[in-house]
Structure 1
Amino acid sequence: MSQSLIQNLARETELSKEFAAVLGEERAMIKAGDYQALVGLLERKVELAGLLQTQTRAREAQMGAMGIRLGAGGQITGRDLSPAIETAWRNLLFAARMARDANTLNAAVVDAHLEFTQEAIQTLRQRGDTGGTLYGKDGRTQQGPQGVSLAAG
């Protein structure tokens, strides 16, 4: 049974690494402004997330059946822990942290783009008294400054 757990941990590690790689591709596309390509990547992310969820459930059930529990800091404890299981677990934790860090970085890139866009819109709205227009959510033009400043809080 421990060999099966090691195989499941290895598969989950592979999926986590693949997810981190897709997040890297996503970040490159966002930085390049290639938003059309993100659609296909989103489908791949959803697929990988589903596979990871299924693999995680199987691994958790298997660990529970073997009496292996998670302790503080992601450490595993149990009577049937072999060095191979511990190594496979550490590999999974490392891959999961890589994916988490890639996701955090992507969020920061998206936040930076959003902040820049909001500032640009605010600047355009402030210049609205010169007759400039902006398009609203409905696709129609709006005259001058309108709405509530997002920076006003």
Structure 2
Amino acid sequence: MSQTLIQNLRRETELAQEFAAVLGEERTMIKAGDYQALAGLLERKVELAGSLSALTRTREAQMGALGIRTGAGGQLFGRQIDAGVEAAWRTLVFAARTARDANALNSAVVDAHLEFTEEAILALRQRGDNATLYGKNGRTQTGPQGVSLASG
């Protein structure tokens, strides 16, 4: 059973590393403003997340059957933990943390872009230049923005 668990841990590690690589591609595309290409990456991320989720459930069942549980900081606890399992687990934890950090970095990049955009819109609105802004209907706001005295 330990060998099956080790194989599963290795496959989960490969997927976590692949997920981190996709997040790196995503960050590059976000920085370059290539938002059209992000749709394809989204499909890949969803596919990888589904595969990772399935492997995680399998791993948790295997670890439970072997009497292995995880603690804070990713430590393994159990009566007899195979050295191969422990090594494969450490590699998986490192890969998962790398993916988590890549995701946090992407989130920070998106937040920075969003903040910049919101500040730019606010600056335009404060300037009173509504003709260059889009309304909720997706069209530019043109024409008089108040009550016209000519219309009575």
Q: TM-score, normalised by structure 1?
A: 0.89
Percent identity between matched residues is 76
Runs of 4+ in 1 over 2 A off after TM superposition: 130-133, 140-144
Per-residue deviation at 1:50? 0.1
Partner of 1:142: 141
5 Å matches for 1:40-55? 40-55=40-55
CA-to-partner distance for each residue in 1:6-56, whole Å, 9 max, x for gaps? Answer: 000000000000000000000000000000000000000000000000000
Greater Cα shift, 78-87 or 60-69: 78-87
Partner of 1:84: 84
Question: Which AA in structure 1 matches 2:19?
Answer: F
Per-residue deviation at 1:79? 1.6
Partner of 1:67: 67
Distance in 2 separating the partners of 1:143 and 1:70: 61
Partner of 2:8: 8
Distance in 2 separating the partners of 1:127 and 1:56: 53
- Give the secondary-structure state (helix, strand or coil) at the position aligned to 2:123: helix
Unaligned runs of 5+ in 1: 147-153
Per-residue deviation at 1:137? 2.1
Greater Cα shift, 134-143 or 73-82: 134-143
Greater RCO (CA < 8 Å, at least 6 residues apart): 2
5 Å matches for 1:24-35? 24-35=24-35
Taking only aligned residues, the RMSD between alpha carbons, in angstroms, comes to: 1.6
Q: Does 1:22 align with 2:36?
A: no
- Give the aligned length: 144
Q: TM-score, normalised by structure 2?
A: 0.90
C-alpha contact 2:131 2:140 (8 A) present in aligned 1: no
Per-residue deviation at 1:142? 2.8
Partner of 1:149: none
- Structure number with greater Rg is 2
